[in-house]
Amino acid sequence: MWQGWVAGILGLWGIISPFIFKTRTGNMANDIIVGIIVAIAGFTVIKERAWQGWLAGILGIWWIIAGLIPALTTGAGHIWNDIIVGILVAIAGFTALRKENA
Amino acid at 1: M
**Stated pTM of the model:** 0.83
Is the Cβ–Cβ distance between 67 and 34 less than 8 Å? no
pLDDT digits (tens, 9 = 90+) for 5-57: 898 999 999 999 888 877 777 788 888 999 999 999 888 866 666 788 888 89
Distance CA 76, CA 67 (A): 10
Number of domains observed in the structure of the chain? 1
Amino acid at 98: R
SS (H, E, C) 55-91: HHHHHHHHHHHHHCCCCCCCHHHHHHHHHHHHHHHHH
Range of the domain at 30: 2-101
Average pLDDT in the 61-83 region? 84
> Is 102 a residue whose pLDDT tops 70?
no
